[in-house]
Amino acid sequence: MNKRITAVTAAAVMALSAGGFSVPAYAERPEKWPTPISDVKGNKDVKAFKAAKPKLSMEEYEGRYYFERTFTWTKVDNALLYYVYKKDDSSKTFRLVGKTLDNSYSIPNEDASYKVRAVTYDYSDELVMGALSDPLKVRSVDTIRPVYDEIYEEEAEEESGAVYYTANSAAPSVSYRSDSLGFVPAPVPHPDKNTEEYSHYDDNGYRDAAKTPLSTFSADVDTASYANVRRMTETGRIIPSDAVRIEEFVNYFDYNYTKPTGDKPFSVDLELSDCPWNKNAQLMSVGIQARPLDKEPSSNLVFLIDVSGSMYSDDKLPLVVDSIQELTKNLTANDRVSIVTYSGEERVVLAGAKGNQINAVTALTDLLEASGSTNGESGINMAYEIAENYFIEGANNRVIMATDGDLNVGISDKDELAKFIEKKRDTGVYLTVLGFGTGNIKDNKMEALAKEGNGNYYYIDSETEAEKVLVKEKNGTLVTVADDVKIQVEFNPDVVSQYRLIGYDSRRLENEDFDNDAKDAADVGAGQSVTVLYEIIPAKGQTKGLKYQKSTGNKNEICTMSIRYKDPGETDSKKLSYKFRTDTYVPFAKADPRLRVSASAAMFAMSLREDGYGTDVTAEQALKILKDTDKKDLEQVGYSDDLMKLIEKHINNTAE
């Protein structure tokens, strides 16, 4: 049974034919979303658009700190953006001075004339321009100039915890001005004020295999924690313990596990070796590999972009824009792209464009600017509404949310956000959360959104990471091959005395949740892998005299691992089971390089979690494992030197 409840109109289903993309005739909408214009020959809309002339009018506002001059114009049907032209009294011609998503434009206090024209793109990604408006002539006036003094700075800092930068002309607007004399941008966090937030989870402890033989948890393919800690390490920041999620360090790397065969969505690799941080224990590694795509499906992507004031810095909105433009280069005409922004309110910038409309996406995202508060609730609602409206059956329908997580209007509490996003699961739309920024990121909120909303969570600290997540690993990031993936391991007390699951502290499930198809769990993307590490204390002898469990009599099996999952969009789960034998053991010095890398990543993460298990583990020990492993062996399993460089950087930081 398909779990998608929302009906898709017949026109929408017919819109995607085997031959490609067509513009569907959708049902009545509460508002007219900005969409590309049809490129069908003889289209009346194109002819009307080219003839449309905006009507301009002037507005002035004398504020406390500056004098604002703005002119506005009537909106033009089907316009995606507007071009602004200017002619000084000393010049003979109008020249392009700005582009804006709005129907208003802030101008300096000087003598000049302005014209405006509406602009859109057709479905061939060609620029379509409207007619130039009649000129609007403005004259300079005596005015209160912007004043930047101690009082202004103190009030700004007191009100927002941020510092305002000032300039000598116009007030901010959502526009780009090539001749701008400067503007007052949105407040940005003070560099000394770190308001980042992380959820706390207690580490998994040791369990007695005889009394508690079952270990049950949700899969996790997120890697945000590793990239975020890398950002903090590179900038010399103190790393909070709660920012470190061990499984996300381990799962950051591609281990080139055995690919699945047949119709099974997963393959499993097991290795048992010595535990490098505990001489009394063994380390069991389980590598679960999801099948790659035979054929890449069409995608219906809605980019939900946070453009609030907290997104002002270079490592936030500008990096978001670069990331989206890079991803769009790898889409096709059979995909759909929409863009929604949110700050104090949501805004639809683009709806239902072809995936390969790179010119349109680039032109529109280049105009995004950060200002205002953060109403994530309204933005999420709008993004899902658009995703459902352009829903493609059997395709990848997904909202990609780019934010620092600093939601301060509407629902802002982490637990309330989780309940809110939970309601979106049955839409059939998945969620990818991309975290950005430094100083005020709300990792706890972004993790909750992804965890409860059929989603995954990545942190983007650089253009390189954006390329990794959105280009090189695009299918894994954006295309789900298994829903609600749960893992349950039953240990044999004749072989295992005690065990401890390494990481997955936020993914623990009750044992009865494993067979409960109503219980949500993580989704796994195409070609992704999940690595699970257990620290095992071997049993010294046969288990005797237990009240609740008898000896198995089997000393050849370590455990039985079961994976429960659902095919995408289905409500009934399937189960796979694997038995792991003791004869898989190899000494750590001869262990597979995949185990050595995953062990090193886990050890480094444990060394950063000062209040957890394994606090006597050091970064130096983790680094030694990598240095003692042949580089060619590491490269064969898809390992880069990123982890080694990160550990070395951390060691140097702490030595200073």
Mean pLDDT of the chain: 83
Residue 552's pLDDT is: 62
State the sign of the Cα–Cα–Cα–Cα dihedral 317, 321, 326, 331.
positive
Per-residue pLDDT band for 7 (boundaries 50, 70, 90) equals: very low
- The pLDDT value recorded for residue 63 is 61
Residue 399: its H or E element: strand 396-403
H-state helical runs in 504-545? none
What pLDDT is stored for residue 416 in this prediction? 73
pLDDT at 472: 92
CB 315 within 8 A of CB 437: yes
Q: What's the rounded mean pLDDT across residues 621-643?
A: 86
The mean per-residue pLDDT over the stretch 51-79 comes to: 85
38 neighbors 123 (Cβ within 8 angstroms): yes
Is there a shared CATH topology between the 10-27+294-478 domain and the 49-185 domain?
A: no
pLDDT number for residue 515: 96
- Segment 190-205 shows an average pLDDT of 79
| Higher pLDDT among residues 351 and 584, named by residue | 351
Residue 583 pLDDT grade (very low, low, confident, very high; cuts 50, 70, 90): confident
Q: Which CATH number is 49-185's, of 2.60.60.20, 3.40.50.720, 3.90.1150.10, 2.60.40.10?
A: 2.60.40.10
Under the banding of pLDDT at 50, 70 and 90, the label for residue 118 is very high
pLDDT band for position 193 (cuts 50, 70, 90): low
Would you state the CATH architecture of domain 10-27+294-478? 3-Layer(aba) Sandwich (3.40)
- What integer is the mean pLDDT of 288-295? 92
**pLDDT 10s digits, 306-331:** 998 888 888 999 999 999 999 999 99
Domains of the chain, by residue range, sit at 10-27+294-478, 49-185, 207-293+481-629
Q: What is the pLDDT of residues 412-428, one digit of tens each?
A: 566 776 777 777 877 88
What pLDDT was estimated at residue 215? 97
| Residue among 400, 416, 410, 403 at smallest CA distance from 442 | 403
Give the integer Cα–Cα distance in Å for 559 and 647. Answer: 33
> Is residue 152 over pLDDT 50?
no
Give pTM, 2 decimals. 0.85
Say what percent of the chain tops pLDDT 90.
Answer: 59
Architecture of the domain defined by 207-293+481-629: Sandwich (2.60)
Confidence bin at 541 (pLDDT 50/70/90) = low
Report which secondary-structure segment, H or E, holds 269.
strand 266-274
Residues 151-177 as b/e (b if ≥16 CB within 10 A, e otherwise) read eeeeebeeebebebbbbebbbbbbbbb
Chain-centroid distance of CA 339 in Å reads 15
Unique residue bearing structure tokens 């927002």: 160
pLDDT confidence of residue 365: 97
